[in-house]
């Protein structure tokens, strides 16, 4: 970290960033109950708890020799920021479950890499940027973490990005998707294992956009929603479509009547929806009979809880970030089986593989530096680094540290014994096909 600033200066500066982000950039990122080895599933408090190894601060009871050895080779600590409560609670729990599984998978259950124990500490951002800044500062100042990971919300993540630069610590962004994270607000300490809005947009546009098609869009009003629609519009217009209406709703709204009326009045062929959070618009779109008025709805297939509200969208063609039956690789097979074993038969959900991918990437970087936590060496190791994930091979693009990855063109279909429309694979969208524009100013 920089040695030119005192703790109080850091805190005040961090709070300033948090407040600014909250006012200007509050947004959500991209459901099942979740938890981690930190105890969220077992009645424990996820905030500030550890998972992985025993703390390297404790001396072995058999003598001081082992204690001295632990002091010379202390554990590597990872601070995980996630929405463990609030509007994105289900997303935070999915990603932290995945992170725990990823540490175990990448270390073959030893929770050790390059001869060093791995610990992680989860902090609840509450989906509030100012809280995210306070929790990140605590992780950096008090817990002395070597990496940051997170967060569930784009607004939270944008607020924390300046701290990664100030403290000179690598931050792996997961699952926040706003383009600006690896775009104009990016810094060299930021790597993103999550996909970004432009990657979603390329997949979404490919499903519906062509010459002469009229499209309306609907999204939450914030960094996540506006970045997503901007990227989708660019991709759709290139394919010859016309955007006839853009509607944005407050991220916490539950009544979308006015927005939907304006969309219907614009008479589009398609309505493309970007959404995240528990307050989904699907039921109201159904109640207002949007499809019966000749408007086809398209979106990214969401988490399982949201799919259960989308019965009337059966037959819709769109895209998916992840559904457990879509990838066909050994890492995903391990994830599905191990997740069911640990979590009472529950299947991994939309953001579980992202958390796992972030953990795998960090362990791979630690191995590449042979356990050295020199930040510049870590950055050099991670730029251009490829690693296997539940979605196949991912690669951190050297130019902006965005992970290139597979997405999926899907159709929602009813299947026997499942109480929601299932995303069925039409085709894989390759990492090269969905590679987003480079938007930073490196």
**pLDDT for res 197:** 87
What DSSP letter does each residue of 118-131 carry, written as one string? EEEEEEE-TT-HHH
Determine the angle formed by the axes of helices 352-368 and 375-382, rounding to 10 degrees: 120
C-beta separation of 190 from 163 below 8 A: no
Same CATH fold assignment for domains 7-195+328-405 and 198-320+408-429:
yes
Tens-digit pLDDT string for the chain (442 aa) = 433 333 344 434 444 444 334 333 333 344 333 333 333 333 333 333 444 333 333 334 444 434 444 456 899 999 999 999 988 999 999 999 999 999 999 999 999 999 999 999 999 999 999 999 999 999 999 999 999 999 999 999 999 999 999 999 999 999 999 899 999 999 999 999 999 988 998 889 988 899 999 999 999 998 788 888 998 999 999 999 999 999 999 988 999 999 999 999 999 999 999 987 668 898 899 899 999 999 999 999 999 998 998 888 899 989 999 999 999 999 999 999 999 999 999 999 999 999 999 999 999 999 999 999 999 999 999 999 999 999 999 999 999 999 999 999 999 999 999 999 999 999 999 999 889 999 997 7
- The residues spanned by each domain of the chain are 7-195+328-405, 198-320+408-429
Q: What are phi and psi of 232, to 5 degrees?
A: -60, -45
C-beta separation of 209 from 202 below 8 A: no
Fold observed for domain 7-195+328-405? Rossmann fold (3.40.50)
**Nearest residue to 229 (alpha-carbon basis) of 241, 244, 238, 219:** 219
**pLDDT for res 71:** 53
Q: What are phi and psi of 89, to 5 degrees?
A: -55, -45
Q: What is the pTM of this model?
A: 0.79
Number of Cβ atoms within 10 Å of the Cβ of 68: 12
- The span from the CA of 385 to the CA of 394, in Å, is 8
Q: What is the CATH number of domain 198-320+408-429?
A: 3.40.50.2300
Q: Is the peptide bond before 311 cis (omega within 30 degrees of 0)?
A: no
């Amino acid at each position: 970290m920089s040695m030119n600033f005192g703790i109080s200066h850091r805190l005040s500066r961090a709070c300033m960033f948090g407040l600014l982000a909250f006012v200007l950039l509050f947004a959500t990122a991209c459901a099942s109950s979740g938890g981690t080895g930190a105890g969220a599933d077992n009645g424990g408090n996820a905030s500030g708890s550890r998972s992985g190894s025993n703390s390297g601060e404790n001396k072995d009871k058999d003598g001081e020799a082992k204690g001295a050895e632990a002091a010379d080779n202390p554990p590597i600590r990872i601070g995980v920021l996630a929405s463990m409560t609030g509007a994105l609670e289900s997303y935070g729990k999915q990603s932290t479950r995945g992170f725990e599984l990823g540490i175990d998978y990448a270390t073959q259950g030893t929770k050790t890499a390059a001869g060093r124990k791995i610990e992680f500490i989860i902090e609840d951002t509450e989906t509030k940027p100012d809280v995210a800044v306070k929790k990140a500062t605590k992780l950096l100042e008090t817990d002395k973490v070597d990496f940051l990971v997170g967060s569930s919300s784009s607004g939270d993540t944008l607020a924390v990005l300046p701290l990664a630069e100030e403290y000179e610590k690598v931050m792996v962004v997961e699952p926040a998707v706003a383009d600006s994270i690896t775009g104009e607000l990016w810094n060299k300490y930021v790597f993103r294992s999550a996909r970004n809005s432009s990657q979603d947009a390329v997949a979404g546009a490919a499903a519906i956009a062509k010459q002469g098609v009229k499209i309306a869009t609907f999204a939450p009003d914030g960094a996540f929603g506006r970045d997503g629609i901007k990227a989708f519009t660019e991709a759709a217009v290139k394919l010859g479509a016309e955007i006839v209406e853009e509607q944005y709703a407050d991220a916490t709204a539950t009544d979308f009547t006015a927005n939907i009326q304006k969309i219907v009045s614009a008479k589009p062929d398609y309505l493309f929806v970007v959404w995240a959070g528990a307050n989904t618009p699907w039921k109201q779109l159904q109640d207002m009979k949007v499809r019966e008025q000749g408007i086809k709805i398209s979106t990214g297939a969401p988490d399982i809880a949201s799919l259960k509200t989308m019965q009337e969208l059966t037959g819709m063609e769109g895209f998916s970030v992840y559904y457990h039956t879509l990838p066909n690789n050994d890492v995903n097979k391990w994830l599905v089986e191990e997740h069911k074993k640990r979590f009472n038969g529950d299947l991994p959900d939309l953001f579980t593989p992202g958390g796992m991918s972030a953990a795998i990437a960090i362990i791979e970087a630690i191995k590449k530096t042979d356990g050295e936590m020199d930040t510049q060496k870590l950055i050099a190791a991670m730029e251009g680094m490829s690693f296997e994930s539940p979605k196949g091979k991912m690669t951190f693009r050297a130019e902006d540290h965005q992970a290139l990855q597979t997405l999926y063109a899907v159709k929602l279909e009813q299947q026997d014994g499942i109480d929601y429309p299932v995303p069925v694979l039409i085709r894989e969208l390759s990492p090269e096909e969905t590679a987003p524009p480079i938007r930073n100013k490196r």
